Amino acid sequence: MPARLLIACRDRPGIVAAVAGFLFGRGANVVASDQHSTGPADGTFFMRMEFVGGGADLSPAFAAQVGEPFAMEWTYWPDERPKRLAILVSREDHCLLDLLWRRRRGDLAADVPVVISNHPDHAADVRAFGVPYEVVPVAGALAKPGAEARMLELLAAAEPDLIVLARYMQVLSGDFLARAGVPVVNIHHSFLPAFPGADPYTRALERGVKIVGATAHFVTEELDAGPIIDQDVVRVSHRDEVAVLARLGRDVERQVLARAVAAVVDDRVLVHEGRTIVF
């Protein structure tokens, strides 16, 4: 995987030239470049660049020569280390097993150091993929602070770059999100902003919808309201009951979450004013 630079700053002339010139000066070869501007006069400029070569960690030099002069927000990911993602899951296994399968096949360029669940159901399946499985029960509201403290201990040991909620059916506190210190991606079994919260397929049936969908989004303190990374839908019929909607929806959930996780792992996602730019 090539190294990546992900950049956001006020739009102005010379940004692309400065970044490309810096990489050229270090002997790097740019192999892919994407950019987007919200407006050339007073907008925000976003860019993702892949490159090979350039030597050791270029962060200090890039900060001094390009990042600071252009007042950039930027991240650099070297080519030698895959991202690490921790997966949280409850009883539903379709998203969990799909991610582990894609990782084993090499379709998801990430390591999975741990899977954490509030149920023991998937221990054998997860360990068959060679991944540690930790059970942290959550028994009532009073147990949640203790459960979150234990999960934070496990996450600190795993050192993930990303946390994925693969149908983890517990609401995480703002304190947990802050202390986790890395992005958290959730899959919600609805085409948000329609039917946030619990039991969306039942509410979709009651409204007589003709499509059901899934939404992958970053997790914030506001339930199911974080910036959306990916979505998709499937058509349904008035003949379909809740069980059918859920069965059709599971396929969409797997695909949407896999695309979203791959996009974050590959540094293709920037967040701006509550929305995402996905290259």
Q: What is the pLDDT of residue 175?
A: 95
Residue 5 is predicted with a pLDDT of 96
DSSP H/E element including 241: none
Strands, DSSP E only, in 119-274?
Answer: 133-135, 162-165, 184-188, 211-218, 228-235, 269-272
Using CA atoms, how far apart are residues 188 and 255, in angstroms rounded to an integer?
12
Active site residues: 224
Q: Return the sign of the alpha-carbon dihedral for residues 11, 14, 17, 23.
A: negative
pLDDT at 80: 79
The one-letter code for the residue type at 18 is A
- Rounded to two decimals, the pTM is 0.92
Cα(186)–Cα(168) distance, integer angstroms: 8
- Give me the sign of the Cα torsion angle 77, 81, 83, 84: negative
Q: For residue 156, what pLDDT is reported?
A: 97
Coil, helix or strand for 14? coil
Question: What DSSP element (H or E) covers 278?
Answer: strand 275-278
**What per-residue confidence (pLDDT) applies to 189?**
87
Output the pLDDT for position 56: 77
Q: What is the reported pLDDT for 256?
A: 97
pLDDT in tens, 106-156: 999 999 999 999 999 999 999 999 999 999 999 865 588 999 999 999 999
> Residue written as tokens 């010379």?
14
CATH 3.30.70.260 correct for 3-77: yes
Which residues of the chain, if any, have pLDDT below 50? none
Residue 223 pLDDT: 85
Q: How far apart are CA 112 and CA 99, in angstroms?
A: 9
**DSSP symbols for 33-92:** EEEEES-TTT-EEEEEEEEE---S--HHHHIIIIITTTT-EEEEE-SS--EEEEEEE-S-
Nearest to 216 by CA among 204, 231, 201: 231
The structural domains of the chain, with segments of one domain joined by +, span 3-77, 83-278
Report pLDDT for 140: 67
Domain 83-278 part of CATH 3.40.50.170: yes
